[in-house]
Amino acid sequence: MTDLQVRPSETEPIGPEEDGDTATRRWATAYPELGTEPISTDRFISEEFFERERKEVFAKSWVNVGSNHDFPSAAAFFVRDIKVLGVSLLVVRTDDGKVQAYHNVCSHRGNKLIWEQNGPCPKVFACRFHGWGYQATDGALASIPDEEQFYFSDKSTLDLVPVRTDTWNGFIFVNLDDDGTVDLHEHLGPLGEKLADFPFEKLTMEYRYDVPEKANWKVALDAQNEIYHVPMLAPVHRFLSGGAFHTNDDGYTRVHTFDRLGLHSVYTSESDDDFQDTDSGVANAATHPAFGVLQLPLETPFAFHVVFPNMVLAFFNNSMFTYNIWPEAVDQTTWEIRLHYPKPTNLAERVLVEQAKSRFRDLLCEDQAGHEALQVGLTSQARDIFVLGEQEVQIRAFHHNLDNYMDGVRR
């Protein structure tokens, strides 16, 4: 039997002492509402919990479905299938720059309207099955082959079904809840404001990996949402820039700043400007180019934003990576990874981007193995709780927000 509402609490939790040498209760003190209790295993393996996430989170929340980069030209479309919601969306950008998503479903017999991944925007989207056509500008039903054979009482009810759509700084969000009252601006809240002027448009090179994982979506998110594992997990992790991921004398990384931004959060790593790398480290650092002059207005070499519920927007040196972590089943996830770099100005920089990308991909392969291994352990139910430390406050905050959201706190 599981009680999904009740957070398990063992005996009085013991945490780092306030006056200990290296340990602090910094985050526990700063965010008492997050508690220090263990977290239930259940939320990663229960079908019932997954169902609630589907209904109460993904079907209610604003969800990022891509960015302006996904349009191959000015007036264009792309298709986004969202398995957790069982929908296929047709996201259209028209000549006037307006972005609107529709259910990618023909009103005739329900065929998936557009099968291509993306393309230039036609005047009319034609269904492959019988050729019904919909105007790109507003989704209105525009043409019906052999129309006289049909019995319509009101043809205007047969337009494409629009989905609430809005954009923020080039990122496209949808909300499947027609009755929702929170707009995108309110949903993004302080995070949206913090990054409102961020020059995302400078990052014009993009690489995408869609990684299938046998793991719950939150396993993947949590494992990315901390740097405690960085010095330990695997070889490429150890070589991550010691400047961006400073380790203290004991060899441990530290969260430098952590902020709750409404439903969202951001943490930065303790960094070290004077970091002197080993020879092999120097060679590796060359694969994370800063392109001479840092163009992005970053305060720290590494900053990791979780955009509730399933997006990550992170800066690393002069580049950015974004994740969309798509639940597919309670134990199946697609980890959509995009690496974004500024446009190289010469061949040497172009080669560096290629190296950086490959290195980062290899790093994330180590993480993928880790995610799946975590799921194995959770699924075994050997333990029904697990514990989080001070350096995992980000994870605590995410689960706290998730619980609240499912309880109706929507911003």
Q: Which does residue 405 touch among other proteins, Fe ion, none (CB within 5 to 8 A, set by kind)?
A: none
**Hey, CA dihedral for 187, 191, 196, 201, is it positive or negative?**
negative
- In the bound state with other proteins, the residue whose beta carbon lies nearer, of 117 and 248, is 248
Segment near Fe ion (CB under 5 A), from 82-90, 106-114, 326-334, 366-374? 366-374
Q: How far is CA 5 from CA 8, 22, 340, 380, in A?
A: 9, 35, 39, 21
By CB under 5 A, tell whether 392 contacts Fe ion: no
Segment near Fe ion (CB under 5 A), from 160-168, 174-182, 214-222, 362-370? 362-370
By CB under 5 A, tell whether 222 contacts Fe ion: no
Among positions 263-302, residues that touch Fe ion (CB under 5 A) are none
Query: Residue 207 — φ and ψ, nearest 5°?
Result: -120, 145
Q: Which two tokens stand for residue 314?
A: 């992170």
Q: Out of 270, 331, 367, 392, which residue is the one contacting Fe ion (CB under 5 A)?
A: 367
> By beta-carbon distance, which residue lies closest to Fe ion?
367
Q: Which does residue 270 touch among Fe ion, other proteins, none (CB within 5 to 8 A, set by kind)?
A: none
DSSP H helices, 156-205, are: 184-194
- In the bound state with other proteins, the residue whose beta carbon lies nearer, of 235 and 292, is 235
Residue among 170, 175, 102, 176 nearest 136 (CA): 102
- In the bound state with other proteins, the residue whose beta carbon lies nearer, of 176 and 255, is 255
Closest distance of CB 237 from Fe ion, Å: 6
Give the residues lining the site for other proteins (CB under 8 A): 230-232, 235, 238-239, 242, 247-252, 278, 280
Closest distance of CB 82 from other proteins, Å: 38
Query: Residue 381 — φ and ψ, nearest 5°?
Result: 60, 25
- In the bound state with Fe ion, the residue whose beta carbon lies nearer, of 270 and 367, is 367
Q: How far is CA 56 from CA 67, 166, 309, in A?
A: 25, 20, 11
- In the bound state with other proteins, the residue whose beta carbon lies nearer, of 209 and 252, is 252
**366, 237 in Cβ contact below 8 A?**
yes
Amino acid letter, 329:
A
Residue among 99, 160, 102, 115 nearest 133 (CA): 160
Place of tokens 């950015």: 320
**130, 118 in Cβ contact below 8 A?**
no
d(CA 378, CA 382): 7
Closest distance of CB 254 from other proteins, Å: 12
Q: Which two tokens stand for residue 156?
A: 């205007």
- In the bound state with other proteins, the residue whose beta carbon lies nearer, of 9 and 248, is 248
- In the bound state with Fe ion, the residue whose beta carbon lies nearer, of 70 and 367, is 367
Q: Which does residue 251 touch among other proteins, Fe ion, none (CB within 5 to 8 A, set by kind)?
A: other proteins
Which residues contact Fe ion by CB under 5 A?
A: 367
